[in-house]
């Protein structure tokens, strides 16, 4: 089925400002609560959100086999579970109805009042019910940088890294939507030169600039997904900040890996940009240094995406400090390879599962995806616009991730992925 929604020449009758992340070629999906306290599934064009529940009830999806309540839910899980054919039909229809040449809704003012809201009139919610969350470790530059800091040049990459997409099972319950504040976490740390740990608030709260993909129902228990079929089971992508407490993580990660240093919060952007919308921005992944095993070998070459990524820090004074600029195309392991590896042992994947890319770092220092790398473990502080400095984040700091693709005068963006770090809670019991 043709992806007519991607036509770069298409214009919408809704106004879209130049440089917007959400032209009519995007049509992402999200969940929001309206001014009447109704939770609904919707999409976005420019600064407007479209209530797809009302859109459906008023007949604009006529001819597309959808349940009556498909878009009148508090998550996208059921819609995602319906599969690629439905996603494409729905997205194409939305593009047709909002095309500048189509008067069907454009001239129906009563319907427009019911269906269309300004973005400032709604509150964005978590778009999916995250059943499971896996975080990969698939940036060679990031893995190398961390290895250099902690193991030295000779052992920077672990022996398995070039053979297997490394990952760990994270905590789904603490995945939060952009705009949600987080608390500085408590935990055990081992002060430098000491033999015994102490307990208290983390002193090294960090970001990890990542992206994440969301799956549909992909396989039954015991049935692996072939790598060349894996992309069919990926619905879309979001920006992802995997907040990390580096001092807690350092003490706990041997022998079983990330736990308390990671599970306190992970922030995602509210709009899921579909893989169909990203199709024009495919590019090649980095060349493999070692030929992977057959189940990870892909036939097509353009297995990555040219997505420009930025991270900003606002200290509360209104000034945005650019921390880093990187690109998703640097990822060594593709999403299809990650999903194929995830299921090769028979692990089943369901609609709404979320897979983090791992920190995305580029080849130069200004493209590193974490404060751990940008300050080289805290040894090289970043000087901000107001003259202050950071090695890791202070209470009150606001961290924002952005990302977009650009080609043929079309920009497809993800909006913002923002979180504010608050002081730790005050415990009422001895710690």
The sign of the dihedral angle between the CA atoms of 76, 81, 82, 83 is: positive
**What pLDDT, on the 0 to 100 scale, is given for residue 150?**
87
**What pLDDT, on the 0 to 100 scale, is given for residue 428?**
81
CATH no. of 133-422: 3.90.850.10
Low-confidence ranges of the chain (pLDDT < 50): none
* Separation between Cα atoms, residue 92 and residue 232, nearest integer Å: 18
For residue range 199-225, list pLDDT tens digits in order.
999 999 999 999 999 999 999 999 999
End-to-end CA separation in angstroms for the chain:
60
**What pLDDT, on the 0 to 100 scale, is given for residue 254?**
86
Helix (H, G, I), strand (E, B) or coil at 257: coil
Please state whether beta strands 175-177 and 266-268 pair in parallel, antiparallel, or not at all (unpaired): parallel
Please state whether beta strands 308-314 and 398-407 pair in parallel, antiparallel, or not at all (unpaired): antiparallel
**What pLDDT, on the 0 to 100 scale, is given for residue 375?**
98
The tokens for 334 are 């593709």
Stated as kind and residue range, the H or E segment containing 78 is: helix 77-81
* Separation between Cα atoms, residue 168 and residue 170, nearest integer Å: 6
For residue range 51-76, list pLDDT tens digits in order.
999 999 999 999 999 999 999 999 99
Spell out the domain ranges in the chain.
4-125, 133-422
Mean pLDDT over the full length of the chain: 96
Helix (H, G, I), strand (E, B) or coil at 97: helix
Asked if 26 and 273 count as a contact pair (C-beta separation under 8 A), the reply is yes
Helix (H, G, I), strand (E, B) or coil at 286: coil
* Separation between Cα atoms, residue 28 and residue 235, nearest integer Å: 11
Asked if 328 and 373 count as a contact pair (C-beta separation under 8 A), the reply is no
Set 56, 142, 341, 342: catalytic member = 142
Domain 4-125 has CATH 2.30.30.230: yes
C-beta atoms surrounding 325 within 10 Å: 17
Active site residue 142: yes
**What pLDDT, on the 0 to 100 scale, is given for residue 89?**
98
The tokens for 21 are 């992340």
C-beta atoms surrounding 118 within 10 Å: 11
**What pLDDT, on the 0 to 100 scale, is given for residue 153?**
87
**What pLDDT, on the 0 to 100 scale, is given for residue 431?**
75
């Amino acid at each position: 089925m043709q992806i007519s929604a991607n036509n770069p020449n298409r214009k919408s009758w809704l106004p879209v400002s130049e440089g917007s992340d959400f032209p009519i070629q995007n049509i992402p999906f999200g969940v929001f609560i309206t001014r009447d306290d109704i939770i609904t599934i919707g999409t976005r064009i420019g600064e407007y959100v479209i209530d797809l529940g009302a859109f459906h009830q008023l007949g604009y999806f006529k001819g597309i086999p959808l349940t009556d309540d498909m878009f009148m839910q508090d998550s996208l899980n059921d819609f995602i579970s319906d599969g690629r054919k439905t996603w494409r039909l729905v997205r194409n229809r939305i593009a047709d109805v909002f095309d500048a040449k189509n008067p069907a809704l454009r001239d129906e003012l009563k319907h427009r009042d019911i269906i269309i809201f300004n973005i400032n009139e709604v509150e964005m919610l978590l778009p999916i019910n995250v059943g499971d969350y896996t975080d990969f470790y698939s940036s060679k530059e990031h893995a190398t940088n961390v290895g250099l800091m902690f193991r030295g040049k000779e052992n920077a990459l672990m022996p398995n890294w070039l053979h297997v997409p490394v990952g760990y099972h994270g905590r789904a319950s603490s995945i939060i939507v952009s705009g949600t504040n987080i608390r500085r976490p408590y935990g055990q740390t081992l002060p430098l030169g000491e033999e015994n740990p102490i307990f208290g608030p983390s002193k090294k709260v960090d970001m990890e600039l990542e992206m994440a993909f969301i799956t549909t129902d992909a396989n039954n228990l015991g049935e692996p997904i072939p790598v060349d079929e894996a992309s069919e089971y990926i619905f879309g992508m979001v920006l992802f900040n995997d907040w990390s407490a580096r001092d807690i993580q350092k003490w706990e990660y041997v022998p079983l890996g990330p736990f308390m240093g990671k599970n306190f919060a992970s922030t995602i952007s509210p709009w899921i940009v579909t893989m169909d919308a990203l199709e024009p921005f495919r590019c090649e992944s980095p060349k493999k240094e070692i030929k992977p095993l057959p189940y990870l070998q892909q036939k097509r070459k353009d297995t990555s995406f040219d997505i420009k990524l930025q991270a900003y820090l606002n200290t509360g004074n209104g000034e945005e400090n650019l921390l880093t600029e990187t690109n998703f195309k640097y990822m060594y392991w593709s999403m299809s390879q990650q999903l194929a590896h995830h299921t090769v042992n028979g692990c089943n994947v369901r609609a709404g599962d979320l897979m983090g890319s791992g920190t995305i770092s580029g080849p130069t220092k200004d493209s590193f995806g974490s404060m751990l790398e940008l300050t080289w473990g805290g040894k090289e502080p970043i000087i901000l616009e107001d003259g202050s400095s950071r090695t890791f984040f202070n209470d009150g700091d606001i961290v924002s991730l952005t990302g977009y693709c650009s080609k043929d005068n079309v920009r497809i963006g993800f909006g913002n992925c923002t979180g504010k770090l608050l002081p730790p809670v005050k415990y009422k019991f001895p710690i």
